[in-house]
Structure 1
Amino acid sequence: MNGIADGTANGTASDAVTGRIHSWDLSTGVDGPGTRFVLFVSGCPLRCLYCANPDTWHMRDGRAVTVDEVMAEIDKYRAFLTTAGGGITVTGGEPLLQPAFTGALLHRCKEAGLHTALDTSGFLGARATDGLLADTDLVLLDIKAFDVTTYRKLTGGELAPTLNLATRLDRLGKRMWIRYVLVPGWTDDPEAVDGLAGFLGGLGSVDRVDVLPFHKLGAAKYDALGLPFPLRETPVPDADLVGRVRGRFRDHGLAAH
């Protein structure tokens, strides 16, 4: 990952909106179509037990930048991103914790002709204005669990706002990729998976479901921060379990990866 260089904004008032970011990176395939400029904003209201980026939890730990400064970095890669069929993805942390900054950045990217994606848990979906969503081509919606009790234990938050956002996005015809982290003993219950698959199967704007196997790659970050990693002893899912869960989504007519 790279930091965005300090600079002075010379744009409009909207372009000078300040946000707090952790870093940025380039990725292919997992953060939206094509090669993406992925911006990690700081701050998140949830505390998912499997979170791989505890260093993005607090806004105070991020660095203040303006939209102009971010665009100056994106512009270095714009031709490449366009040629590679990609664009920009705003992730975190939780981008909707900073809706003014996220919205202004997405607007500038759309003006620049870039494909835009928003990666969100949906927990703060009510903060996404119609204007922000109009400037978003694709929403990567992270649905952490479908059982409300499990969701609360796993994230510290409530499930309803995420489902409400999914329904709203479908009503707007906004394309969605659903992300579902598969954690043995937490999100592998067949009835809960079937319930989520049934809900998603009724939404016409869901393009795919990405079943993401739980991993422990972020454990070293917890150690560095002096924090306990809650799922350190939880096993990662084996290939058979991942295949079965993907199959349940496919049984409901969904493209599952």
Structure 2
Amino acid sequence: MKTTVAGRIHSWDLSTGVDGPGTRFVLFVSGCPLRCLYCANPDTWHMRDGRDVTVDEVMAEIEKCQGFVTTAGGGVTLTGGEPLLQPAFSAEILRRCKEAGLHTALDTSGFLGTRATDELLADTDLVLLDIKSFDVNTYRKLTGGELAPTLKFATRLDRLGTAVWIRYVLVPGWTDDREAVDGLARFVAGLGNVERVDVLPFHKLGAAKYEALGLPFPLRDNPGPDPRLIERVRDQFGAYGLAAY
């Protein structure tokens, strides 16, 4: 069924292995309420920098790739930016994808979790939940936002039985504190819907975007994690019975 629902997006792309299972059509939705110091996509922060599209236009692009992504065990992932900044637009795309028989994933910080209706989540097969830090003060300094809404959203997803992959960006000096990692692992292990935890090493691949936008990259001089630190944090999650990668 055609629709007139529209939104603003940055772009779309195909990816394998980083945005959910299989090869996926990834839609980068414009706008984000957080300003994570390590953000690799500062060009998606502002709605004004996006372009207007209708859901029908997005679905036309998805349909071109549907056979390929389905055969490759994938589906469609909404990311950004923050898809829940445009909940009606995101909900309609997820609904249309489910009607088309596609696996759906929502990549979100959970900060705007209250904007996700139960209907939107019913059309979401998997939530990629980015929990930036389990320390309240670090979370605020790292993102400019508050941790509590994300934790509340996580418990709601558990209650609804929505499958979740936790994404945790490992930044030396910021998110490598043993006690904070243990606290997050303990919280996540208490949920019954988390299938895996992805420990994502901090990188600087987005540095050129900051330069192009005339913005300073806050963590330009911050080192990435070494293999031993990555393994230590994965082991911390694993100690609580979580599958960590």
| 1:197 counterpart = 2:185 | yes
Aligned to 1:53: 41
Q: Deviations over 1:132-190 (max 9, x none)?
A: 00000000000000000000000000000000010000001100000000000000000
Structure 1 position 41, deviation (Å): 0.5
Distance in 2 (alpha carbons) for counterparts of 1:56 and 1:82 = 27
Aligned to 1:183: 171
Aligned partner letter, 1:68: D
Aligned to 1:105: 93
Secondary structure of 2:155's partner? helix
Aligned to 1:74: 62
| 1:89 counterpart = 2:77 | yes
Aligned to 2:128: 140
Structure 1 position 82, deviation (Å): 1.0
| 1:128 counterpart = 2:128 | no
Give the 4+ runs in structure 1 shifted more than 3 A.
Answer: none
More displaced, 76-85 or 86-95?
76-85
Structure 1 position 80, deviation (Å): 1.0
Aligned partner letter, 1:103: A
| 1:115 counterpart = 2:103 | yes
Structure 1 position 81, deviation (Å): 1.1
Secondary structure of 1:89's partner? strand
Structure 1 position 56, deviation (Å): 0.3
Aligned partner letter, 2:53: V
| 1:212 counterpart = 2:200 | yes
Distance in 2 (alpha carbons) for counterparts of 1:98 and 1:32 = 21
Distance in 1 (alpha carbons) for counterparts of 2:14 and 2:22 = 10
Distance in 1 (alpha carbons) for counterparts of 2:229 and 2:4 = 47
Q: Deviations over 1:204-256 (max 9, x none)?
A: 10000000000011111101111000001111000000000000000000000
What TM-score results when the alignment is normalised by the length of structure 2?
0.99
| 1:24 counterpart = 2:9 | no
| 1:232 counterpart = 2:232 | no
Aligned to 1:62: 50
Aligned partner letter, 2:153: L
Distance in 1 (alpha carbons) for counterparts of 2:73 and 2:224 = 32
Alpha-carbon RMSD: 0.6
Structure 2: which 5+ runs fail to align? Answer: none
Structure 1: which 5+ runs fail to align? Answer: 1-10
Secondary structure of 2:60's partner? helix
| 1:39 counterpart = 2:27 | yes
What TM-score results when the alignment is normalised by the length of structure 1?
0.95
